[in-house]
Structure formats: C-alpha cells, structure tokens
Structure 1
C-alpha cells in the first residue's frame, strides 16, 4: 500500500492553504489529506490548543488505515511531532519550514515569552493573529494568492503557544525543507533542525514554500513517499 501524505497546516491557517501543493501531489499519483487544526478558528473564543490539535492529527493518521508521510508547516510541526511519537503508522515526518521543538518545550518559550509586536490580540484575549502576514508569512508568494490567503487567516488560540510538547518520536525518519529567505522562522534555526534530519531540501523561499515553491516541495514529498513505500 502506497503511503498517504497527511498535511498539517500552520498557525491561523486552514487546510485550503495546501490546495496548490495537493494538486501537484495528485498529478504525481500521490494521495494526500489535509488536517484542520482546531486551534485555528474564525471565532477567537472557539480556537483551541495544542492538545486538541494533536488529537485531530492522530485521528487523521488513524483514518488513513495505512502508512503515512506526515508533513507539517510552521506551527503544525509541533502537533505533528507529538502525533508522530504516538502513531506507528507514520513512516516519515517532514518539516516544511516548521518548528521541530524538543519534548517539553512550548512555542511561547521558543518565542522568548511574548508574541511579535506586529501580532494582534483578540478582544476577548483568547487568541492572536499575525498583523503583518503579507511580509512575514507570505513573502515571495504570488500577490493574488497572498491576498486570498490573508483574507482566510483565522485567530490562533493562545494554548497552542503555551502548552508544552508532550512527546517527540525517537525512531521515525525525519526530513526538513529549509526556506532560506524566511523572515518568520530564521533560516539559521531551520538549518540546525535540518542538520538532524536524514534528508533535507533548501529552497529560496519565504515562510510558505508550499505556496511559492510547490513543485519543489511536492517533489521532496514524493521522494519521502517512495522511501516509505520501499521500507
């Protein structure tokens, strides 16, 4: 059975953000699914946290009913890491300009205890949203696609940032896509995480290589699928 690619989006996003990448995977004969994380919601009061995100990712992996290449972008790397530690079906974990935190760490700790000054807090104090997404998240992406992506951004629940990563996989092969022009997640940090990965790819991209360099990312995921199928 060929592995299925399960995609985990970043903070404030929805599964829609992977549509261009999924089209390219389909063209290569690769089946994909995209998770909707409950930490991202139009309603700030409904936006949940890391624990709920992990449960949804694990459920999606189980629903595949076979081997999975789990690929995550940005914050999505945190619930994906935890889920991969608890799901035997994960044949490879691929970080796409994503956070590869150590178990016991939180996003808030990584950010130094506070959110970027350009981020907006919801009136109820339960969620945040990037106020400079055009530059920080979507730099280098087609302007029309960027405009649509910004329009679709949700609130991100605070617990996604404050809850600590409960586990990280020990025996799962890891790959990393480094975005070398990323203004949001420093490329030097991505390189540190990539140095521990079995396979890596570097693309001259901002924080969203799955949008700006979808062909290259699809090719990298296809290689992961081929490796997983051969195991």
Structure 2
C-alpha cells in the first residue's frame, strides 16, 4: 500500500506593502534624551516630557488641531510658569534643535523592500514632520508618508490604517504593519493587517521574509 503523499507546505503570499512607523523604528532618539536635557538645565527628570506629552498638549499637535510651533510655545509657557521664562526657553530650544538619528540598518531593509513593494511611513507626528524628514535625508527614502497631523487622526485610530492602506494602493489584508507600540500593532491586526511589533532590525528582517535578500 502506497503511503499517502503529504502536500508540500504553501508559503504565505508576500505582503503587497509595508507600512512602517517612524519613531522608535526608523528614527531613534537616544542622545541626548529628554531626561538628559532636564538634568542639563537643572530640572527634575521627567519635567520636559511631562509638559510636552500630556494629552491636552500632545493630542492637538499630532492630530493637526494646532501647528508644531504652537505646541512648543505652549510647552514653553507651561514650563515658564513653574521654572521661569529663561530656563523654560533654554530647555525647549535645546529640545527643538533635536531631530533624532536614522537607524541605518532599518533604512537599508526598507530600501531593499521598495524594490518589490511600496513602503509607507505611518507616524503620529506634528506639522514639523516634513521638515524633519528633509533634515534627516528621509524625504525620498519611502514611497509615501501618512502623518497624523495632516490626516487629523492618530494611531491607534482605525482611520489611520485605512488611510495608509489606501495610500499604498493595497488592501489592508495585504499590508504588513510595523510599529514599536504594541497597541498600534494590535489595532492594525484588528483592521485585517499583518502586524509586527518592532524590537530590533533582526526581528524586522525576519518579518519581511522574502521581501529582502
């Protein structure tokens, strides 16, 4: 009696687009940190982040309700009310001068991917994003950008994922979504995408599979 043939495993289809977060994936903010800036200006660690990232300040900035310049001015005012105008201006000027740095390994992976499928940056950012991308020489490094401040919605809002898939010209089911925020990845999966919770470039390479050499 002949053995029953075992069908060969079928490889899943490659993604039709890669939707990639910016901060914490392609752009890193490792030096100097906000806490280091606090210390340099004689303030408790967490002072700047607490002023800049509390929801009533950050949410309008990343959903386009207020421009980046207004956000930074408001943060300066909040700091000045407690720590004095001179110190507040010096701290926010030092913070605003930062652009972060590009992770070269991630950039090389995404450049390789672009030879096969579109790569779209999907990021919660302010109206300064375009200026930052030019300064970091990333303006032409991807096929398109979905900026929450221009869209009027921020991750994990479902509207962001649908806008990103539409921008890529690919159905959500054929999109690979990459983000260092677990909640953002989970939201993408709920929209029918394949999600990758980013930890490092090696893990990203594995998630990209046949899209990279």
Task: Report the TM range for the smaller structure's normalisation.
Answer: 0.3 to 0.5
Structure showing the higher strand proportion among its residues: 1
Q: Greater Rg, structure 1 or structure 2?
A: 2
Taking structure 1 as the reference length, the TM-score comes to: 0.31
Structure in which a larger fraction of residues adopt helix:
2
**Which TM-score applies when normalising by structure 2?**
0.33
